[in-house]
Amino acid sequence: MPGYPIQEVISQLDAVVIQPGSDFEVHTLLTDSRKLFPPAGTLFIALKGPNHNGHQFIEDLADRGVLAFVVEEDLPIYPQGVTIIKVGNTRQALQRLAAFHRQHFDIPLVGVTGSNGKTIVKEWLYSLCRDTFRTVRSPLSYNSQVGVPLSLWRLKEDTELGIIEAGISLPGEMERLEKMIRPTIGIFTHLGAAHDENFSSRDAKLREKVKLFGSVRTMIYNRDDDRIHRALKEVLPEDAEIWNWSEYHPEARVSVEREDLPNGGCKVALHWDGRSMTTICPFREPALVEDALHAMVTAIALGVPTEGIAEKVNHLESVPMRMELKLAANGSLLIHDYYNSDVESLKIALDFLERQHNRLPKWVILSDVLESGKDPTVLYGDLSKWLARRGVEKLIGIGPEIHAHQDLFPSYSEFYTSTDAFLEDLHPDQLSNKAILLKGSRPFRFERIARKLEESIHQTVLEIDLEAIMHNLRYFRNRIAPTTRLMVMMKAFGYGSGTFQVANILEAAGVDYLAVAFTNEGVELRKAGIHLPIMVLNPEPESFDILIQHQLEPELYSFRILDAFARKLEERAIFEYPVHLKIETGMHRLGFEEKLWVTLGDRLKGSRRMKVASVLSHLAASDDPEQRDFTLGQITQFDRATRILEQTLGYSFLRHILNSSGISEYPEAQLDMVRLGIGLYGVSNQHWERPNLRTVMRLRTKISQIKELDPGESVGYGRAFIAERPTRIATLPIGYADGLFRSLGNGVGEVAIHGHRAPIVGRVCMDMCMVDVSDIHAEEGDMAEIFGDIIRVEEIARKADTIPYEILTHVSQRVQRIYTTE
Ligand SMILES: *Cc1c(COP(=O)(O)O)cnc(C)c1O
């Protein structure tokens, strides 16, 4: 996206520049210093909250390359060479910039508000629309005075539809949100009845909320709630197009019929303007069906084809993405809401807890609520009442502040000053057969609690540390020039890590390109909502239609494939489709050989169907210093190829040849882009590099049983191990079908238990293996690390006589992936 020159940004603010710096284009607004990436093009806005002051991070961010800062406080000294822009109120400055950015878009923009269901409606509407329009939505539940501007800033040049969620907690806030969002389409999701103290305050809140819709052109709401209907009447522009729906009201534009099905879902038929549509919802809880109806009716009003809507409704997931719903210890249900513990999002989560599973007793584990802007006595007093009204049976409060205010909660609540204190006390059995909502502010790291509870059911897990991925990404970013682009290789299920979660953070982190091996892998990424350009390394001609449909970009490596693709483009009357050319320079795998380069250029020059987005080649031995001459030869040959192509084609394109080891060893050949693969996962062929990288994947399991053997007794198939002394053997529920190589048996490989190594003895079975724990402490139920920080993937690869790539990509799909962020 082209950015705004910093001078233009400054001119939008009532600002004094107290220290001028260099000119650059602003692409990213940053308010959370932990999320810096990449520094180029970032403007940091120092916000202040009761427990947080962004001004503290300015020096550090300047060190890391941020060039400009918006502040509201004076600092004793400012870092040299950066622009410091002073305003009266940084939060308002952020809002003004969002409003300024918003003005550039003449597209349908949906504003969603209400007391419940906002996030779910937003996510579902997104699912229904994303194949029809390039859609940008608020991330997570960014619906506040800070979240909304950050969401709006995500609108990009090519965005065709925006979906923005708006939540308020104080009077006056909605007007400010409205000024920024300027929605053209409004959705009022639901008005809660139980939550407000008295009618007059509820009414006031409703009147406040509908202010979002003062200038919409289209409005979607449930006609069966008269309060909403009346309140909207007062604010909606006269010519607004109304799309209200109802099961009972004869006047509603869309009439709804609904019938429960034996499988737990329901059939829904909609009739409007002489048309109809029928679909099956995979759930029947009234609140969720209501949310789905809002999304469906909005999609219809937007002109999304109804067959597509009906099809997609079948697959709506009843869990919004920001929350994870899992089975945990002993029949419990765990809802982990990872983000923020602001009050509004706590309400969404509780709402969700209540709607989903009202059979199980409801427990809430809650941390201190940070940055609520409220007096703690008021805040926790309100929360306590609120939890009681929601029928929460027990609260476990964690954190110094909630601990200090425990008198405000019922006596059967429990309090701990820290997550560690709670974990020490925790026995997963205490939490059996409950519906548990885990809601913690980030510093409390509640994922550790989740993990402990999940461990009780998942014996073997591959844990993926997303924070470590970000660290490694920053490391490689810093090794290349700011102008060099970064493509991340996501083939083979992201080297075993799982694709969607990783791609999602890479997109948010500003990576330029993704690459996958096959078309279907790219389709999966698109379905998951990834918008980044995606190159397909090995596109099969049979898949060209789907490839084009999902805007995936093929790597063309021979005239056979090039001609086939050209015919497809011809057939579909497409022009200037981006393609990538693979050049043969010594790998002898895929690619155009030297004698074909001139013809290739000539052939493409005449074609208006394709546009060469990039030209690439792959190094055969970038990790081997002994092959340095060969590698340099490949680089020279590639250089020759790109010159010839540039000359014959008459335009330029991105050139790239380096993989992870190449980035480390041949920085001079980084050209326009590099292709990062295994390095992102913290694995390096270069010894010197390892200390700079963090371990991303850890494969762990849990001891099933421990046996005491007498000398002479044997272990496993073929009696391959015979005890020579009294021996303790632990059985682990992981075998070669999970990705534990069979060649690691018979004492070759080891696992780590409590930080100590234990050899794998006897033969590795399909689903199990045995380890000798005679010399270390180990009990049934203890964790064993197969690989991670103690036993590195590189070590296992060496012992199994293979390479780390094979170890990572062999962790079977039946092993549960767990994603953590610090
Ligand atoms: C897999 C792959 C890469 C990445 O290799 P790493 O060694 O994992 O960094 C780069 N380019 C191509 C063409 C690849 O197939």
Ligand 1 centroid to Cα of residue 557, in Å, is 16
Ligand 1 centroid to Cα of residue 489, in Å, is 6
Pocket lining: 585 vs ligand 1, CB cutoff 6 Å: no
pLDDT at 195: 40
User: What contacts 479, CB < 8 A, 6 or more positions away?
Assistant: 663, 664, 667
Given a contact cutoff of 8 angstroms between Cβ atoms, the answer to whether 35 and 110 are in contact is no
Regarding beta strands 218-222 and 513-516, do their DSSP bridges make them parallel or antiparallel, or are they unpaired? unpaired
Q: Render 310-327 in DSSP notation, one character per residue.
A: HHHHTT--SS-TTEEEEE
Nearest to 606 by CA among 664, 557, 566, 556: 566
pLDDT at 1: 53
Q: What whole-number distance in Å separates Cα of residue 755 and Cα of residue 732? A: 16
Lookup result for tokens 């080649």: 617
Mean pLDDT by 10 residues, the chain (822 residues): 88 94 93 78 90 89 93 92 96 96 97 88 92 87 84 93 90 92 96 52 85 97 93 96 94 94 86 96 82 97 96 75 53 68 68 62 88 82 85 92 94 92 83 83 84 70 87 92 93 85 82 95 86 95 94 97 95 94 96 96 91 97 95 97 95 96 96 96 90 93 95 96 96 95 96 96 96 95 93 95 95 80 53
Given a contact cutoff of 8 angstroms between Cβ atoms, the answer to whether 699 and 751 are in contact is no
Amino acid 737 reads A
Active centre residues (catalytic) = 491, 717
Given a contact cutoff of 8 angstroms between Cβ atoms, the answer to whether 749 and 771 are in contact is no
Nearest to 661 by CA among 612, 623, 688, 632: 623
User: 509: how many CB neighbours lie within 10 A of its CB?
Assistant: 18
Tell the residue nearest (CA) to atom 4 of ligand 1. Answer: 677
Ligand 1 centroid to Cα of residue 617, in Å, is 10
Pocket lining: 582 vs ligand 1, CB cutoff 6 Å: no
Pocket lining: 677 vs ligand 1, CB cutoff 6 Å: yes
Task: Detail the DSSP E strand segments found in 658-704.
Answer: 673-676, 697-702
H helices within 54-210, ranges in order?
A: 58-63, 90-102, 118-129, 147-152, 173-181, 199-209
Tokens encoding 765: 């079975």
pLDDT at 339: 57
Pocket lining: 583 vs ligand 1, CB cutoff 6 Å: no
Ligand 1 centroid to Cα of residue 515, in Å, is 9
Pocket lining: 489 vs ligand 1, CB cutoff 6 Å: yes
Lookup result for tokens 């099809």: 311
At 691, phi and psi to the nearest 5?
Answer: -60, -20
Tokens encoding 169: 């907690």
Ligand 1 centroid to Cα of residue 674, in Å, is 10
pLDDT at 194: 40
**Closest ligand 1 atom, CA of 660?**
9
Give the residue, out of 480, 489, 518, with the most ligand 1 atoms within 8 A of its beta carbon, to mutate for a pocket test.
489
Tokens encoding 557: 């490596």
Given a contact cutoff of 8 angstroms between Cβ atoms, the answer to whether 657 and 619 are in contact is yes
pLDDT at 79: 93
Q: What whole-number distance in Å separates Cα of residue 395 and Cα of residue 415? A: 8
Tell the residue nearest (CA) to atom 6 of ligand 1. Answer: 677
Give the residue, out of 664, 675, 681, with the most ligand 1 atoms within 8 A of its beta carbon, to mutate for a pocket test.
675
Ligand 1 centroid to Cα of residue 314, in Å, is 37
Given a contact cutoff of 8 angstroms between Cβ atoms, the answer to whether 293 and 285 are in contact is no
Nearest to 731 by CA among 456, 460, 461: 460
Q: What whole-number distance in Å separates Cα of residue 698 and Cα of residue 811? A: 11
H helices within 390-465, ranges in order?
A: 400-404, 419-425, 447-455
Pocket lining: 675 vs ligand 1, CB cutoff 6 Å: yes
Give the residue, out of 488, 618, 661, with the most ligand 1 atoms within 8 A of its beta carbon, to mutate for a pocket test.
618
Name residue 702's beta-bridge partners: 783
**Closest ligand 1 atom, CA of 517?**
15
Taking CA atoms, 708 is separated from 546, 711, 753, in Å, by: 58, 10, 18
**Closest ligand 1 atom, CA of 582?**
13
**Closest ligand 1 atom, CA of 495?**
8
Ligand 1 centroid to Cα of residue 739, in Å, is 22
Pocket lining: 660 vs ligand 1, CB cutoff 6 Å: yes
Ligand 1 centroid to Cα of residue 466, in Å, is 20
Tell the residue nearest (CA) to atom 10 of ligand 1. Answer: 659
Pocket lining: 618 vs ligand 1, CB cutoff 6 Å: yes
Regarding beta strands 25-26 and 4-5, do their DSSP bridges make them parallel or antiparallel, or are they unpaired? antiparallel
Q: What whole-number distance in Å separates Cα of residue 484 and Cα of residue 768? A: 46
The DSSP secondary-structure symbol of 626 reads: G
Give CA 542 to chain center in angstroms: 31
Nearest to 114 by CA among 228, 198, 218, 204: 228
Burial of 81 (0-12, 13-18, 19+ CB in 10 A): exposed
Could you give the dihedral angle defined by the CA atoms of residues 230, 234, 235 and 236, in that order, rounded to the nearest 10 degrees? 70
Q: What whole-number distance in Å separates Cα of residue 351 and Cα of residue 255? A: 26
Q: What whole-number distance in Å separates Cα of residue 381 and Cα of residue 371? A: 16
Regarding beta strands 697-702 and 783-787, do their DSSP bridges make them parallel or antiparallel, or are they unpaired? antiparallel
Pocket lining: 119 vs ligand 1, CB cutoff 6 Å: no
Taking CA atoms, 414 is separated from 395, 409, 441, 778, in Å, by: 6, 9, 18, 32
Tokens encoding 380: 């926790």
pLDDT at 458: 60
The DSSP secondary-structure symbol of 405 reads: T
pTM for this prediction = 0.58
Ligand 1 centroid to Cα of residue 35, in Å, is 27
pLDDT at 563: 95
Ligand 1 centroid to Cα of residue 655, in Å, is 15
**Closest ligand 1 atom, CA of 623?**
7
Q: What whole-number distance in Å separates Cα of residue 356 and Cα of residue 317? A: 12
**Closest ligand 1 atom, CA of 622?**
7
Number of residues written out for the chain: 822
Pocket lining: 659 vs ligand 1, CB cutoff 6 Å: yes
In 3-state terms the chain splits into helix, strand, coil percentages (rounded to 5) of 35, 25, 40
Q: Render 167-229 in DSSP notation, one character per residue.
A: --SSTTHHHHHHHHH--SEEEE----SSSSSSHHHHHHHHHHHGGGGTT-SEEEEETT-HHHH
Pocket lining: 678 vs ligand 1, CB cutoff 6 Å: yes
**Closest ligand 1 atom, CA of 662?**
9
Ligand 1 centroid to Cα of residue 675, in Å, is 6
Q: What whole-number distance in Å separates Cα of residue 335 and Cα of residue 333? A: 7
Could you give the dihedral angle defined by the CA atoms of residues 316, 318, 321 and 325, in that order, rounded to the nearest 10 degrees? -140
Q: What whole-number distance in Å separates Cα of residue 457 and Cα of residue 329? A: 6
Pocket lining: 85 vs ligand 1, CB cutoff 6 Å: no
